[in-house]
Amino acid sequence: MQQHLTRWLPAIAKTAVARTTAVARNRRAALAVAGVAALGGLAFAPTAVAAPVTSGPHAGARAAIDLATGKKTATEAVTSGLTTGSDKVPTKADRPARDKLVPHGVEGAQSRIPLDDAQLDNAKAIVQAAKETGVGERGAVIGVATSLQESKLYNLGHLGTYNDHDSEGLFQQRPSSGWGTSEQITDPEYASKAFFGALKNVGGWQNLPLTSAAQTVQVSAYPYAYAQWEEQAADIVQQLW
């Protein structure tokens, strides 16, 4: 297993995907960006190898993502200081209490990235799957944080020569390891429910720190990588729940 993958390699877009409305209608359309590395690693069933990402992608990777998501140039990337898409999604008065979202407090330095429409749409899919599988607000935070680490909330298709093994989708799950077919794991709804199904099999996951719960599902070579996304994941879930 590769332990030292180069993250955010320069590349071009492999497949242009439709913008937000099309993504919402066809969740099986993976964002196949050749050269955006397997950001969080490779999810086996139910394991993964992930590397911490504490900074944003360089210009080459941004350009590839911009092309794949339909943006004209890399300079049109999100410039708002908001990282949860709150300029697009109204905040609900009955949003979850913070102590339900982050019951143990965050661990270590926190990372944040701006979200575009595709990422926000994928976050919505994860939150909805958390509701439907019964893992609740805390489960949703764990799911969103895991996807932030694994794929930066992009539904990645196979990355060709830059793919490490056969990992794909929001959680970088692997067909060869039993997570499902390529079509299934690049469906955000299926992938999210598969992740939450594995999470529910972790005894006492509700009482574990986020990084421990995610690590037990993903079995990463970098077990503390998930912790850095807890605060942003909580913000996202609080907004979308």
The H or E element containing residue 42 is: strand 42-43
- CA gap 169, 30 in Å, rounded: 7
The DSSP code sequence of 91-116 is PPTTPPPHHHHSTT---S--------
In this predicted structure, the answer to whether residue 109 has a pLDDT above a threshold of 90 is yes
pLDDT value at position 162? 67
83 versus 3: the higher-pLDDT residue is 83
The DSSP code sequence of 132-143 is HHT-HHHHHHHH
Least confident window among 8-12, 133-137, 169-173, 226-230? 8-12
CA angle, corner 108, sides to 231 and 53, nearest 5? 75
pTM higher than the cut 0.85: no
Highest mean pLDDT among 38-52, 56-70, 83-97: 83-97
Q: At what angle do helices 188-200 and 117-133 cross, to 10 degrees?
A: 40
In this predicted structure, the answer to whether residue 50 has a pLDDT above a threshold of 60 is no
Q: 209-221: per-residue pLDDT in tens?
A: 999 999 999 877 7
Tokens of 101: 């979202």
Residue 91: which pLDDT band, with cuts at 50, 70 and 90?
A: low
